[in-house]
Amino acid sequence: MATSSSLFLLLSLFLSFKTFAWGGNFNKDFDLLFGDDRVDIKEEGKSMSLTLDKYSGSGIISKNEYLFGRFDMQIKLVPGNSAGTVTAYYLSSQGSNHDEIDIEFLGNLSGDPYLLSTNVYANGNGGREMQYYLWFDPTEDYHIYSIDWNSRRIIILVDNIPIRVMRNRQDIGVPFPTKQPMRIYTTLWNGDSWATRWGKVKLDLSNAPFVAGFKNFNANACIAKTGEDCKVFNGGQNKGLDSESKQKWKVVLSKWVVYDYCRDFRRYAHGLPYECRKDNVLPVV
């Protein structure tokens, strides 16, 4: 009995193996989204640069759709005067009522800090921004930015330090992305209508072309195909934060958060979103 069930487990693990992705390659795993040769893939797919010039930005989209997983990307942001540029690394489903998990870097004038902006959409509902300054200059070197997504929580990390942890609160009626497979997008574009100092500082084209570098993309994720069950994968990924990560996360929360929708009493003058209300906030485990 024990033997046959463990055999079955091994067999199902083996079968589901094919639907799991490890590693990553810009040639193999992505298609051009826009910008033609402004997308420059190098080192046999290990690295890539995106360019924004006066005609266009650029971006790529993953070939696969994923349902849960951890997605790491090393990024070196546009240096110098990057005001008005938006470098985005995000997951999104397609169609109406979409789900989305965003990391966006809003550029700035030379010497002024980049803003890392995060947001989560579920079933078309967004408005859950949290924004951060970084504790390093993100234009000097590559740093690892990660989205770790399962049915119970979303964790966004910078150099393996959690900066945002979002629990699934469907139990109190808060939408959470659990059903729609998503693709990975990486883009660089002109967002100067809103990005820098709320749109006041525009892109300075005399600094063009703007270039951002990307490398070592890594997906440890379940590839969603009809009839495949990504919950198996998800099960193994439901661990919470260990105490060291929790400690580091708390430091980020106390030092680096610039904006938190859960504290925007002006925007939510008639009451904070459910998940932000005192009685509903869950301890992180």
Q: Which residue has the tokens 């930015």?
A: 145
* Minimum distance of ligand NAG from residue 112's CB (angstroms): 3
Q: Decide: 92 and 185 in contact? Cβ < 8 Å.
A: yes
- Of the pair 28, 197, the CB lying nearest ligand NAG is at 197
23-82 residues in contact with ligand NAG (CB under 6 A) are none
User: Where in the sequence numbering do the catalytic residues fall?
Assistant: 100, 104
Rounded Cα gap, residues 210 and 108, in angstroms:
12
- Of the pair 101, 195, the CB lying nearest ligand NAG is at 195
| Contact mark string toward ligand NAG, 166..195, x via CB under 6 A | -----------------------------x
Q: Residue 264, Cβ neighbours under 10 Å: how many?
A: 15
C-alpha Rg value of the chain to the nearest Å: 20
Binding ligand NAG (rule: CB under 6 A), the pick from 64, 93, 108, 119 is 108
Rounded Cα gap, residues 252 and 231, in angstroms:
31
Closest CA to 156 of 59, 254, 73: 73
- Of the pair 190, 196, the CB lying nearest ligand NAG is at 196
Binding ligand NAG (rule: CB under 6 A), the pick from 45, 79, 113, 273 is 113
Rounded Cα gap, residues 83 and 96, in angstroms:
31
Q: Which stretch binds ligand NAG (CB under 6 A): 24-32, 89-97, 108-116, 235-243?
A: 108-116
Please tell me whether residue 115 binds ligand NAG under the rule CB under 6 A.
yes
Q: Which stretch binds ligand NAG (CB under 6 A): 34-42, 110-118, 216-224, 260-268?
A: 110-118
- Of the pair 107, 181, the CB lying nearest ligand NAG is at 107
Binding ligand NAG (rule: CB under 6 A), the pick from 74, 93, 196, 220 is 196
* Minimum distance of ligand NAG from residue 106's CB (angstroms): 4
Q: In sequence order, what DSSP letters do the residues of 202-255 get, joined into one string?
A: PP-GGGPPEEEEEEEEEEEEEEP-TT--THHHHHHT-----HHHHHHHHHHHHH
* Strand pairing report for 183-190 and 85-92: antiparallel
Q: Residue 87, Cβ neighbours under 10 Å: how many?
A: 30
Q: Which stretch binds ligand NAG (CB under 6 A): 13-21, 107-115, 121-129, 147-155?
A: 107-115
- Of the pair 119, 151, the CB lying nearest ligand NAG is at 119
- Of the pair 172, 258, the CB lying nearest ligand NAG is at 258
* Minimum distance of ligand NAG from residue 104's CB (angstroms): 10
Q: In sequence order, what DSSP letters do the residues of 25-43 get, joined into one string?
A: -HHHHEEEEE-GGGEEEEG
Give the number of residues written for the chain: 285
List residues binding ligand NAG (CB under 6 A). 106, 108, 112-113, 115, 195-197
